[in-house]
Amino acid sequence: MRFYNVSTPEEVIQIIQSRVNPLSAERIPLGEAGGRICAETIYSTEDVPAFDRSTVDGYAVRSMDTFGASDSAPALLTVTGEIEIGAQALPLGKDSCAYIPTGGMLPPGADAVVMVEHCETMENLVTIHRPVAPGENVIRRGEDFQKGEEIVEKGRLLRAQDLGALAAAGIRELPVTKRPTVGILSSGNELLPYETESLPSGKVRDCNALMIGELCRKKGAEILFGGISPDDPGIFRKRVEELLEQTDFVVLSGGSSVGTRDFTVQVLGELTEASLLVEGIAIQPGKPTLFSICQGKPVMGLPGHPVSAMSIFLLFGTRVIDALSGKTVPPFQPVVPAVLAQNIPSRIGRTDSVRVRLEQKNGLLYATPIFGRSGLLRTLTHAHGFILVPSSFEGIASGETVSVILYGMNTYE
């Protein structure tokens, strides 16, 4: 048995962020950019909106014509026209006004709009009982984005509203970081493809590859399944080398036993241009995790137990995908507070990742820890999320408020 040094979770995150570089960029149409990572800061090439627009249905006026207007001395303006939505508006003269719909273009000369609710109309005359300020009920040209102003910054994950703003500014295509391709290789003589109908004695179906693949898909990565390697260092090494050539990030799943772990370490050491950066993490479950850079590409060796594999990939594997995507590290970690419904014992010196089930009771959210061996998938399917017990804690008492990281939250997005 080989002894090894463990890294703290913070050290592993630091290693990933400093050693994994973003992939190159590609230009794609705006309509396909949702969920992708912006590879360059994008500036507006025009004023948005391109003209002064009304934000209400009303009358476009020169605000100075309404100054001093009151119930006893209302302003009387002549209606000289109706502005059609989407059309160029004709200039407005003194003491006149024009009907304007929401979104309509202000006529040259006008600088404000009086809401239709605040006017009285008689034939072609409009009576206004109070003054409007310059700019009232108007979005000015360039008020949303001025020509040359930043719309979205490099490293941003493009959300619905970011696409909307880029569309408004006439950005039809933009550079995004290429989607990372993740190669997933399972290993273990006991494994058969999950599609296997009838299991021979002693065999199990490979469920980790599918699970990790789904986490990658949610992060926007492409997946290349490398199949199942037997516990044979030669074959295993060849498969890892093939995946290193074809993908941007190699994830090794399985090999839960000490022996398999040792030969994984050995194979990762034998590859050319390889440096093993992490050979264990002070976290439970998931301690026997490996992280290496081989031929410039990240390689992660996950523990074999499904719960450990998923827990580690959520906390660290998704960050490798973010780093490859050039995604800016978010300034805060979204968590949901909940009242702990049961004591959690913990050991000083390692971080504990504890699955919890959430329940709303009397207006409060309660988190019940799901204890159970890390080989049991049911502890994952019953959970809504997990909490991290810091390494300096001996445990957390029932009734305390804990921070839950939800599985559905896309934690690091």
Footprint (CB under 8 A) of a second copy, residues 240-269: 256-260
Q: Does 85 bind a second copy (CB under 8 A)?
A: yes
Q: Does 162 bind a second copy (CB under 8 A)?
A: yes
Q: Which parts of 279-347 are beta strand (E)?
A: 283-284, 290-294, 297-301, 336-340, 344-345
Pick from 71, 123, 197, 245 the residue near a second copy by CB under 8 A.
197
Pick from 157, 250, 268, 396 the residue near a second copy by CB under 8 A.
157
Q: Does 363 bind a second copy (CB under 8 A)?
A: no
Q: Which pair of tokens denotes residue 147?
A: 């020509």
| Residue 18: φ, ψ to 5° | -90, -20
Q: Does 211 bind a second copy (CB under 8 A)?
A: yes
Q: Does 93 bind a second copy (CB under 8 A)?
A: no
Q: Greatest CA span in the chain, whole angstroms?
A: 97
In the complex, least distance from residue 311 CB atom to a second copy, rounded to whole angstroms: 10
Q: Does 400 bind a second copy (CB under 8 A)?
A: no
| Size of interface with a second copy, in residues (CB under 8 A) | 102
Neighbours of 405 (CB within 10 A): 20
Q: Does 345 bind a second copy (CB under 8 A)?
A: no
Q: Does 111 bind a second copy (CB under 8 A)?
A: no
Pick from 92, 112, 185, 215 the residue near a second copy by CB under 8 A.
215
| Closest to a second copy by CB, 293 or 406 | 406
In the complex, least distance from residue 116 CB atom to a second copy, rounded to whole angstroms: 8
d(CA 362, CA 331): 33
Q: Does 82 bind a second copy (CB under 8 A)?
A: no
Neighbours of 404 (CB within 10 A): 22
Pick from 5, 360, 362, 392 the residue near a second copy by CB under 8 A.
360
Q: Does 165 bind a second copy (CB under 8 A)?
A: yes
Pick from 9, 22, 104, 298 the residue near a second copy by CB under 8 A.
104
Per CB under 8 A, contacts with a second copy among 293-322 are 304-306, 310
Closest Cα to residue 406, out of 353, 344, 312, 335?
335
Terminal alpha carbon distance of the chain: 39
Angle at 199 between CA 194 and CA 201, to 5 degrees: 135
Q: Does 30 bind a second copy (CB under 8 A)?
A: yes
Q: Are 291 and 277 in contact (CB under 8 A)?
A: yes
| Closest to a second copy by CB, 272 or 363 | 363
Q: Does 13 bind a second copy (CB under 8 A)?
A: no
Of the ranges 126-134, 175-183, 345-353, 403-411, which one interacts with a second copy (CB under 8 A)? 403-411
Q: Does 336 bind a second copy (CB under 8 A)?
A: yes
| Closest to a second copy by CB, 120 or 273 | 120
Q: Does 144 bind a second copy (CB under 8 A)?
A: yes
Report which secondary-structure segment, H or E, holds 17.
helix 9-19
d(CA 99, CA 124): 11
Q: Write the secondary structure of 116-175 as one string of H (helix), E (strand) and C (coil).
A: HHHEEEECCEEEECCCCCCCCCEECCCCCECCCCEEECCCCECCHHHHHHHHHCCCCEEE
With tokens 């060796």, the residue in question is 301
Q: Which pair of tokens denotes residue 61?
A: 């006026």
Report which secondary-structure segment, H or E, holds 406.
strand 401-406
Pick from 97, 105, 114, 356 the residue near a second copy by CB under 8 A.
105
d(CA 148, CA 48): 11
Q: Does 136 bind a second copy (CB under 8 A)?
A: no
Of the ranges 124-132, 178-186, 212-220, 269-277, which one interacts with a second copy (CB under 8 A)? 212-220
In the complex, least distance from residue 165 CB atom to a second copy, rounded to whole angstroms: 4
Q: Does 170 bind a second copy (CB under 8 A)?
A: yes
Of the ranges 8-16, 268-276, 341-349, 376-384, which one interacts with a second copy (CB under 8 A)? 376-384
In the complex, least distance from residue 140 CB atom to a second copy, rounded to whole angstroms: 11
d(CA 134, CA 173): 37
